[in-house]
A and B are shown apart, each in its own frame.
Chain A
Amino acid sequence: MENINRSTDAQGLGKLTKVVIGVCLLAGAIALLRQLGSGASTGYVWDFQALWKYRSLLLSGLAYTLGFTVICITLGLFVGLVTGLGRLSSNPLVVAPLRAYIELFRCTPVLVQLVWFYYALPVLTGIEMSAVTAATLCLALYGGAFYSEIIRGGIISVDVGQIEAAKAIGMRPHQVMRRVVLPQAFKKMVPPLMNQSIMQLKNTSLLSVLAVPDLLYQGQVIAHEIYRPLETYTLIAVAYFAVLLPVTIWAKRLEFGDYDREA
């Protein structure tokens, strides 16, 4: 066990190094292309220093993005767990509306949903919502629809023999679920849940459409102010990348850990 952990650690570090090397190579290639293209093809002079004085704005944007991600993932997981378990019911009156909810959110673009939640829903229901509330509700439900399928899939993939064995020693349905099914299902769910959560973080960039001051929104503000959209969006991209790269590597490691155990 110890050994396996250490080897995956080494693998993880190796991955990070590889990615960093890859990024450096890419930057080098771009620089080379610029040289070959005689540099003056655009005449554009990059100036990242102009962004320095907006650092606090960018940091607050990043904080918004991360905060929103945490809230939307938490709410989304809750929605996903409830609806995922609900869909295992044998009662069609429970299953049908949940199915409808999931398909509705899976089969429409999240950008359309965001706009609809903010502009159309208040008209429909008469309930005024702030942009933040509308965005939170929308992203939580959107993520929840995907989480729901992941959770349901994980649960139904647990061998029926495990459930029978748990019933046979006298466990009641909620004990079977809590003690046997969920712990086993959770292992299988982790990699797809991680992937979906990474998408959740990226989806928060859509909040800028509703003028929620997330990282991308602040970037847009800055870009307009200093007329440096190339530098600004490059930095924004780098910031997203820097946050998500460690997460993807961690997620990958969880997957590889599983392969190791199965091999």
Chain B
Amino acid sequence: MNEMVRTDGLVKRYDGTLAVAGIDLAIGEGEIFGLVGPNGAGKTTTLRILSTLLEPSAGEAWVAGASVRRNPDSVRRVIGFMPDTFGVYDDMKVWEYLDFFARCYGIPPARRRRIVADLLELVDLGAKRDAYVLGLSRGMQQRLCLAHALVHDPQVLLLDEPASGLDPRARVELRELLRELRTLGKTILISSHILPELEELCTSVAIIDRGRVLAAGRVADIERRLRVGAVLRVRVLGTDDELEVARAWFAADPHVATAELLIDGQIELGFRGDDEESARLLAAAVAAGLRIVSFSRAASDLEELFLQVTALDEPPMDEVAS
């Protein structure tokens, strides 16, 4: 697999504070790579360095083989960047907006017209072609901004919190759009502090906090490496007494650390084991006569993983700042 993005010991200092304290990343072609971390972790700084808007204080980064320090122009030609906060020109129409950025990349007029039409189609704004950008909803502006990052058919997309401020529906649409882009062979680096958003989307993630990578790799790999338990939710059919019996049955299993009856009638299990173990548990529960309606992993895997990882690593602040 080709490496599309690579950083080596990336450091960024702002007037004494250390925003990025040595980040090493390696992102292969065609990946959707998630950069997860709380606010102020250094996600935006990292993305801005990769998009040549900031120069690193130390370290080096390459995008598609071009150095962001020595060859920013080549980097700019292969990336599409969507910043976390972005403005729109208030006196522009939607098609003019895309046309303008296409001009910035020196795309000839005939191709420009086709690209603008295609992109509007892709981000589902075809009907808004002649509307003013300022009049679009937040979700539409977000999609338009994503479209602007695609005018030159970049190999790498750098998306900083693309889903922030979107309603759930727009979020789902964005996710679909990113999946579609991945099938087009784009490498996507996406940052977020909302974890479930990334979990369903990313092939790999890096959890960063205070400018450092705490863990990186496939979500399942990180999970295994850290031996973090999963949370299982089981819905069992029956009366309250039967539910209590079911809870006790689950609690007796050696791999179940905690078993709790939730208010909505579900049983939540703190489970220490891999998929193999959870399949066995389900089979055993069915065999034991429990009438199981649903049996699933809680969606907040990554969130708990994240909390666990960031809790493991709590260096005192002055050590970071040194």
Same complex for A and B? Answer: no
> Residues on A close to B: CB < 8 A?
none
> Residues on B close to A: CB < 8 A?
none
